[in-house]
Structure 1
């Protein structure tokens, strides 16, 4: 386990906000030298605290402005069948099997609340689903 200090946390926050920030800009923002920033980034990558860098496109944020998850309890052993039925729906981004209170968790994305509601109604009509709970994402923060 890596122990992170205040500078590490601030560095990770700065990189999360702008993964393309220059070492010079990061150093200036943190009040440390460029060598310190380079060394800390290398240490955080080696320790597995920084797993990678990615591009977030406009489509990532606007294609499905209404996002959420639906937690699903199933009856018997129909998880594979139910997962296949859900993943065929365009608003279902992913289906995860879980260990715990809920059997499946589905990530949802839709253009409107009405479209999301229609998807939830289709999901709830799948045979073998005994209970579900839906949570909408209000805001997202990324590492």
Structure 2
């Protein structure tokens, strides 16, 4: 994937409905080049689909956040099962680096969000955590 492909993907992330003409103008290439690159990126699996973000998707959970969790010992599988059993947990991701797990949380109110955080922090094996509230969503994979 070269720099033009990366710029194309960036433009599509910003507006997946942009016309081929607009994309060509933005990238400084022909419409034929844009069409060919999109098709090649789809065939190679680099682009797996396009999506729409509905107002209802963002309104479902007025309070949303990401909780990064550090786990001590070998309790990751158990903790993931506990997390996935919580109705406010929208997704769990294992990762590398400082944090072992990143949890996407959504609740109707800030008070409920705080209750979920407190409950998760009490799970046996959680060594430390950090939480960030999501203020707005520009694009969602849903």
TM-score by length of 2: 0.75
Residue by residue, what CA displacement relative to the aligned partner does 1:63-87 show, whole Å, maximum 9, x if unpaired? 1132221111223222222222221
**Does structure 1 residue 4 correspond to structure 2 residue 3?**
yes
Counterpart of 2:69 in structure 1 is 72
Task: From 10, 13, 35, give the equivalent of 1:16.
Answer: 13
Task: From 42, 47, 55, give the equivalent of 2:39.
Answer: 42
Could you list the runs of 5+ residues in structure 2 that have no partner in the other structure? none
Could you list the runs of 5+ residues in structure 1 that have no partner in the other structure? none
Instruction: Tell me, yes or no, if the aligned pair for 1:8 and 1:40 is still in contact at 8 Å.
Output: no
Counterpart of 1:114 in structure 2 is 111
Residue by residue, what CA displacement relative to the aligned partner does 1:66-117 show, whole Å, maximum 9, x if unpaired? 2221111223222222222221111111222233322222111122222211
Classify the secondary structure of the residue corresponding to 2:111.
Answer: helix
Classify the secondary structure of the residue corresponding to 2:64.
Answer: strand
**Does structure 1 residue 57 correspond to structure 2 residue 60?**
no
TM-score by length of 1: 0.74
**Does structure 1 residue 127 correspond to structure 2 residue 127?**
no
In the comparison of the two structures, how many residue pairs are matched? Answer: 140
Classify the secondary structure of the residue corresponding to 1:15.
Answer: helix
Single out whichever of 116-125 and 52-61 deviates more from structure 2: 52-61
Larger Rg: 1
